[in-house]
Amino acid sequence: MSFTILIPARLASTRLPNKPLADIGGAPMVVRVAQRVLSLTSATGPVRVVVAADGPEIISACQAHGIEAVLTRSDHPSGSDRLAQACQLLGLPDDEIVVNVQGDEPLIDPALVSAVADLLTQRPDASMSTAAHALDNLADYNNPNVVKVVLDARGLALYFSRAPIPHQRDQPLALPNPAPLRHIGIYGYRVGFLRQFPSLSQAPIEIAEALEQLRALWHGHRIAVHIAEHAPGPGVDTLEDLERVRLLFRTEK
């Protein structure tokens, strides 16, 4: 199985300016993400890893470490728009599978990336794939910053929400049984669908929940969901997150 990993990276960040270039163990964070998933090449066959950057500073940092990168527009309204342009710049065919790995997750499990790509190859009925894991914490279940997903009998997403779903009517203060699923923000796409996605009109549910993946469901597309055994490594949104990841990175080494 071969696929392309795209890592969108933008310099503008309200909570952590120039986040992709933040140093982690002597290299920029976006480079660490790319290096992490490049380990898939020997395990699963040919895997191309490309950073989709919004500025020449990121391109230069990637080139200095031997990481392929393309320069995309700086005014894209969403990550999917940036990915669609990257596919065009790279000349990827419509039947190619790409996996979107966020540029602020330097501790991502490469096996999770591979699983999301593999799932999409097995599900011709789906336009996208993603991942989730079982929640065991009531606070996370009720936290609107923790996105939940419910599935149908075929492992396809029915709905994503910031609300605690499914809601347990008779025991509202307890976790549902079976355990609810927390969505993990990694996506696999068929390139043909990814080219189409930015032109789809925004969905009311997408706007209400501020969850872009709901646009695909609103327009009748299917999203296959891989169930991971454990939660992913922490991402980086704030300076505190960055310090924690730096410590974990040193520990891994």
pLDDT of residue 80: 85
Overall number of domains in the chain: 1
Angle between helices 29-38 and 110-122 (to 10 degrees): 60
Average pLDDT (178-206) is: 94
User: Treating both helix axes as pointing N-terminal to C-terminal, what angle do 56-64 and 29-38 enclose, rounded to 10 degrees?
Assistant: 50
Determine the average pLDDT of the residues in 211-232.
95
Q: In terms of residue numbers, what domain contains 8? A: 3-242
Mean pLDDT of 194-209: 94
Asked whether 29 and 19 are in contact (CB, 8 A), the reply is: yes
- Residue 251 in any domain: the answer is no
H or E segment at 100? strand 97-100
Does residue 214 surpass a pLDDT of 70? Answer: yes
In tens, the pLDDT along 156-165 reads 999 999 999 9
For residue 128, is it within any domain? yes
Answer yes or no: is 252 within a domain: no
CATH number of the domain within which 173 lies: 3.90.550.10
The DSSP letter of residue 26 is T
Average model confidence (pLDDT) across the chain: 91
In a domain, 32, yes or no: yes
pLDDT tens digits, residue range 224-233?
A: 999 999 888 8
For residue 24, being part of any structural domain is answered with yes
DSSP character for 234?
Answer: P
Q: How much of the chain exceeds pLDDT 90, in percent?
A: 75
Kindly tell me the number of DSSP H helices and DSSP E strands found in the chain: 10, 11
Give residue 189's Cα distance to chain centre.
Answer: 11
In a domain, 248, yes or no: no
DSSP type of residue 82? H
Q: In this structure, is residue 190 part of a structural domain?
A: yes
Question: Does residue 247 sit within a domain?
Answer: no
- What is the predicted pLDDT for the residue at 42? 45
Asked whether 98 and 3 are in contact (CB, 8 A), the reply is yes
If 0-12 CB within 10 Å is exposed, 13-18 middle and 19+ buried, where does residue 173 land?
exposed
Q: Are 88 and 205 in contact (CB under 8 A)?
A: no
Average pLDDT over residues 67-75: 92
The pTM of this model reads: 0.91
